[in-house]
Amino acid sequence: MVADTPAPAAPTLYRPDAYAALEPERIVDDYPFATLLSPELHATTTPMLFERSDRATLIGHLARRGSHAQAMRTGDRVLAIFAGPHAYISPRWYTEKPEVPTWDYVATHVRGQLEVIDDDAGQLEILRRTIDRMEASAANPWTIDDAPEGRVAFLLPLIRSFRVHIESIEGSTKLSQRHPTGDRERVVAALRAQRERTLADYIAADLDGAL
């Protein structure tokens, strides 16, 4: 009698409890230049943003000529990988709890179903939302209405936009949490000396309970 083969586990981001991001959406907001992976292993790095404050969907666009854009189909299950700061961690910095080398990093994985946006009005709205978000901090933000006359109309047929209806969002913040405070403080100091300030700030914020 042949034993039943167990069903394969659903894909998830490997993240031990100590490293699970409490607010993975923050990583998406802070590092929107992400990699979109589709069936047949198509992959493209492109900006992706939450469409609205409810964070239920992501939006983005690809160059229409590319094989990835041409292969996209509504209903495809996709994965978006948002990679934040990362760095090699030398065991020279672990003096209280000696260890081997490792890598600290910040990342979020978003899984969901794709909706392809091909109509001009839908694509224009995705571009508008993207630009408005990225220009939000400017004193005098540029808007899509400021584009040279005819330029947007010329470029619109050259892109293919999409929306990802989010099914899961998981983040990992591996920040030497399994080491004593003194070791982690040495990691922060060493990273800052190497100008890896963003990752150092993450670790310092975690030490302060601010993550």
pLDDT band at 76 (very low <50, low <70, confident <90, very high): very high
Is 60 exceeded by the pLDDT of residue 1? no
**Which of these, 158, 155, 130, lies nearest to 143 by C-alpha position?**
130
Is 60 exceeded by the pLDDT of residue 2? no
The pLDDT score that the predictor gives to residue 10 is 82
Give percent of the chain above pLDDT 70: 97
CA-atom Rg of the chain in angstroms: 21
The pLDDT score that the predictor gives to residue 3 is 59
pLDDT band at 192 (very low <50, low <70, confident <90, very high): very high
Task: Give the CATH superfamily of 17-87+101-175.
Answer: Electron Transport, Fmn-binding Protein; Chain A (2.30.110.10)
pLDDT in tens, 18-72: 999 999 999 999 999 999 999 999 999 999 999 999 999 999 999 999 999 999 9
The pLDDT score that the predictor gives to residue 210 is 75
The pLDDT score that the predictor gives to residue 123 is 96
pLDDT band at 9 (very low <50, low <70, confident <90, very high): confident
Q: 46 Cβ partners below 8 Å, 6+ apart? A: 33, 34, 36, 60, 61, 62
The pLDDT score that the predictor gives to residue 44 is 98
Q: How far apart, in Å, are the Cα atoms of 93 and each of 17, 85, 165?
A: 23, 19, 42
